[in-house]
A and B are shown apart, each in its own frame.
Chain A
């Protein structure tokens, strides 16, 4: 404390450099902390450069343009060993995204069903669902992946004795085979689907406006269904209805034709979906339980049907509780897809790992992996935060 003289004219208290001034202390602490971090970074970087020189490893991302020279089992885009490392990593990233996106969709569906099932009045359903949740979330994901992979590759019959539950569907230790569609009208059908999505959004907007203006409810569900069925069929008809089924058939020792779900991808997807669904089920359950029971009763007494109560009253409130933990489950699933490397699915980690072994560019490899996951994680969390803000409670 500086001395205060009551007679003296009021002047700004002199600021002295004193250890007792919290401001001064804060500045000193921060300078010290920054200096320590800077020193640590400098120490690590100089060591690294030194080590790289000793081991004769060049730095930089120039190697991305060199020929990769290794094959990748699953390629969503065209790729051959003659392509560059950059292309190989791109293929790996697409494989990761494929697993993550499909995983998120299926885990959400399964998890929601199980979460609602745990709250069911039906004793048997509720018990089965809670046993599922307790078992699945208490066993490490990696172990589950190994389990599914062993189940598919060791305990499934070979292609010649493959299970054939439906015509054209084969389950064997080479994975799952299903019939594919091919023909020139595929583009038209996909175009019709895209149009249907845009159309549904527009109709939803218009319907909401009209409801606000006139109070009439627009049957959005039926309209959307009509669009989603009608437009692709229209596209199919316009294109001249050329579409054929590509059935998988046994040729020699393996199948040809059709769409393949490889054992690695099937095991990864099964593991990710089954594991994450257990966590999503808990999120959904706690979200629904967080909505006061009075809300159900009040909405019912307004004369709303039960389905409409759920959609218009309970779900919007439950979603507010559900979205933040759901976001972190989606992020976990995306990050967990990196475990693919353990069962040989060529995701980005496994491709970069191969690359690191071939070129010795460890630092660049790790940086690529981290940058890829950070980008994906940040995009998901930005999207979910935007969605969360949209449905958040608007307070006065």
Chain B
């Protein structure tokens, strides 16, 4: 059974609402800025897709999460009986580690001023599930309240299990949230791995791609029963997770493991490759990810590849939030009957996969969404778009 997408919201570098994010995405904006690290032994600046508010306030993660959840519940008019049948599914790769960093930094500064101050405690806040439990208790949601931590697939996995719990009848609705906020551990960790684009360009599948640019985001997708009155119906049909334990930080370059998760997603949803109208690529613009993803797409779709688009160049790679954020952004475009595109992209003949460069109409039918993660955790989801005229037939 599919789960209908009932409500969407997103906050990212593109904007503070889904509409603003989609407007800027369709206009081709790429609003990255410099993030400085002046305190390091070797001071550093890195490109970053930040939200409009200050990254210096680490605790804003809590207010964004709370505001978006409250707004969704209000917008959907969920009463007490409906809320207790509403599951909560959060995916993030870092949760509130930025708050731990801020507390630790502040404690170090206090100790420097006053030797009698309490010992600084690194990683002082632990518990992936704390934020979800706090929201569940406040809004009296279902006890089906889960937090996923599988790096970049965290919120994609949250979406998949939300759909599965709805299909199993265990809940009626699901609030699925992808959240990733600025923290130094993550940004400097990716820098150490040599994955940040030296040209500050995140150019997926392009001949001159040279790495990624990270970003922060909070995105919410509400799944539930279909709304028969909606002019365009979007449904999450299902998907699959598969494991590639070839390398901690890269998929097998021949694409076999990524092809297997896409194949499993199609099998799970009963959709043939030939029925896919468009593909949201994971497209990190790292050399090896794009190579493996391109190889997988060619294996699965042979010479009949549908339109492929990638979204990270507009909002950055938002890691654990990217599943929910990119689904919200793409869905926001599809609801406007627009297919996202990557204008200005330069085809890489070595990859042999061309991104969609023409803005155009989004056809009704099935769409494939890829998300891949460090640790070899790969996810593929299948979405269906139906316009009301077709739904009535």
Task: Answer whether A and B are interacting partners.
Answer: no
Residues of A participating in the B interface, judged by any CB pair closer than 8 Å:
none
